[in-house]
Amino acid sequence: MITLYDTTLRDGTQREGLSLSVEDKLRIVSRLDDLGVRYIEGGFPASNPKDEEFFAAVRDLDLKTAVVSAFGSTCRADHRAEEDAGLRALLDTGCEALCIVGKAWDLHVTETLRTSLEENLRMVRDSVAYLKSQGRTVFFDAEHFFDGYARNAEYATAVCREAAEAGADAVVLCDTNGGALPGAVRSVVAAMVESLPGVVFGIHAHNDAACAVANSLVAVDAGCTHVQGTVNGYGERAGNADLVSIVPALVLKMGDDCITRDQLKLLTEVSHFVAETANLSPDPHQPYVGTSAFAHKGGLHASAVSRLPAAYEHVDPTAVGNLARVVVSELAGRASLVMKAKELGVDLAGQPDIASKVIEDIKQLEYRGYSFETADASLEILLKRELGTYEPFFRLESFRCLMEKREDGRVMTEATIKIWVDDERYIATAEGNGPVNALDRAIRLAIGRFYPDLEAIELSDFKVRVLDEKKGTAAVTRVLIESSDGEKSWGTVGVSENIIEASWQALVDSVTYGLSHPERPND
């Protein structure tokens, strides 16, 4: 069985423009755990203080099967492993699994590291042995392995042998520059399996030659049993190997049980969730999970596809949680909707009229730019409106935002809101560093005394995406707000041509959801 190792949160965040907050990372960890990914690399603690915060917080997550791992490198040249600050930082994360990278290409040892080939072998051996002596699962990433092997196979093999003999649980062959082709990967992996029998080999491929997925799959064919990659192939330059393509190939085409068939049905959802959390648009043409991945070209009758799907589809779209385009418009969002309704105690499956009305409304909203992938709280509020159980906590008469740019460079925003609770009218003015912050404070000022639960609610993240950029300033803006009450977090969405209006919608949903789900100690 193949061991899946996800590095979206570490190697994936090397992608230009991709950044994840600690809260984002924790939510992604939970989704990957649901999907059944065995190891989740959380970050590089020695290089990034945000990662330390993540490793402290992730210990509190209740994971089903996933093990969180931390990434680092071997000890430095001429330093003892026991005294190396980087290895210490790895151990201090408390992670059960650790992954360290070391040089496998002689050129990099002498020219980048500027040390001797012998000393590099010592660093690999001592670092792996030291981490093993501390009772951890240790993976060794052999950096630039394929390029190194092409130039000095004997040395690249020796590096892997040192790591394995020191106790590494897997020796991961890395195509760091991403230029390897499948034929070479297959024969090199086969040669390694033959020359180091009994060693567990892994593959870590980059996509610079558009072969990362292919290279991962041929490496498995040739004997690798550990596969590293990222969700949606996010990563530096052209990206990493895309687990979203690798996993269904392993399960559906190669007969591997790395995750269950039920878990595989979460693939589309997880892929889109990670994209939205990274504030990137999901790629409609992404294999397996794209909205067009099973869209049949015009002229091909839906009835022909449904009569003989295997003649037109390489896998059953429902196996990966996707839907054939011909039915997408009918069923989009239905599964999560039915689930959400169930949480509210409503059996939507038994109320087809309401269900189809809600689906129709969601379709309209999505057409206008709404996205409910990460805005589960807004979905719940929408559903309550349709069911007639929505109870607003306040009614807006009006709000006004003023922005002031000051001589010293500071920008201040002032918001005034006029708001009704029952038959009472309240007016409040507050300042903030931006319109959302000012409006948020004004709401609290106006109605905080009626709703003490408001105090616990915090806006933890705020994402803005401009949709349809071709329209310039008339483009539609989507605002996603993440909120938290210290115990749970929830997402809300707003869409408008006006960014402040979009923010307001998301803000009102956030407050409404938070107040209707108060955190009570003994609940």
Stretch that binds Zn ion, among 3-11, 290-298, 343-351, 454-462 (CB under 5 A): 3-11
Residue 88 burial (C-beta neighbours within 10 Å; 0-12, 13-18, 19+)? middle
> Rounded to whole angstroms, what are the CA distances from 185 to 103, 146, 182, 202, 212?
18, 7, 5, 12, 10
Question: Residue 400: beta bridge partners?
Answer: 416
Q: Which is nearer to Zn ion, 8 or 484 (CB)?
A: 8
Nearest to Zn ion of 215, 437 (CB atom): 215
Q: Which stretch binds Zn ion (CB under 5 A): 4-12, 265-273, 328-336, 441-449?
A: 4-12
Q: What angle do CA 231, 235, 238 make, to 5 degrees?
A: 115
Q: Which is nearer to Zn ion, 11 or 162 (CB)?
A: 11
Least separation in angstroms between CB 427 and Zn ion: 56
Identify which of residues 168 and 381 has a Cβ nearer to Zn ion in the complex.
Answer: 168
Contact stretch for Zn ion (CB under 5 A) within 11-19, 161-169, 349-357, 400-408 = 11-19
Task: Give the angle subtended at the CA of 52 by the CAs of 50 and 57, to the nearest 5°.
Answer: 95
Stretch in the footprint of Zn ion (CB under 5 A) among 6-14, 123-131, 276-284, 358-366: 6-14
Shortest separation between residue 206's beta carbon and Zn ion, angstroms: 6
**Distance of closest approach, residue 245 Cβ to Zn ion, in angstroms:** 17
Minimum CB separation from Zn ion for residue 99, in Å?
A: 11
Region of 10-18, 415-423, 456-464, 479-487 interacting with Zn ion (CB under 5 A):
10-18
Task: Please give the C-alpha separations between residue 316 and each of 114, 252, 265, 274, 312, in angstroms, as whole numbers.
Answer: 53, 10, 11, 23, 10
Residue 11 sits in the site that holds Zn ion (CB under 5 A) = yes
Residue 33 in the binding site for Zn ion (CB under 5 A): no
Largest CA distance in the chain: 83
498, amino acid identity:
N
Which of 9, 21, 13, 10 is CA-nearest to residue 480?
21
Which region among 9-17, 78-86, 182-190, 385-393 touches Zn ion (by CB under 5 A)?
9-17
Nearest residue (CB) to Zn ion, 46 versus 324: 46
Cross-strand bridge partners of residue 426 = 419
- The answer to whether the CB of 63 falls within 8 A of the CB of 93 is no
Q: DSSP assignment, residue 458?
A: E
* Smallest separation, CB 204 to Zn ion (Å): 6
Q: Based on CB atoms, which residue is closest to Zn ion, 229 or 248?
A: 229
* Two tokens, residue 482: 């993440």
Per DSSP, 75 falls in state: P
CB of 7 to Zn ion, least distance (A): 7
Is 41 near Zn ion (CB under 5 A)? Answer: no
Q: How far is the CB of 171 from Zn ion (least distance, A)?
A: 15
* Cβ-contact 416, 399 below 8 angstroms: yes
Nearest residue to Zn ion, scored by beta-carbon proximity: 11
β-partners of residue 201 are 171
- Structure-token pair, residue 272: 């889109």
Task: State which residue, 237 or 301, has the beta carbon closest to Zn ion.
Answer: 237
H or E, element range at 299: none
Q: Closer CB to Zn ion, residue 11 or residue 453?
A: 11
Q: Which residues bind Zn ion (CB under 5 A)?
A: 11
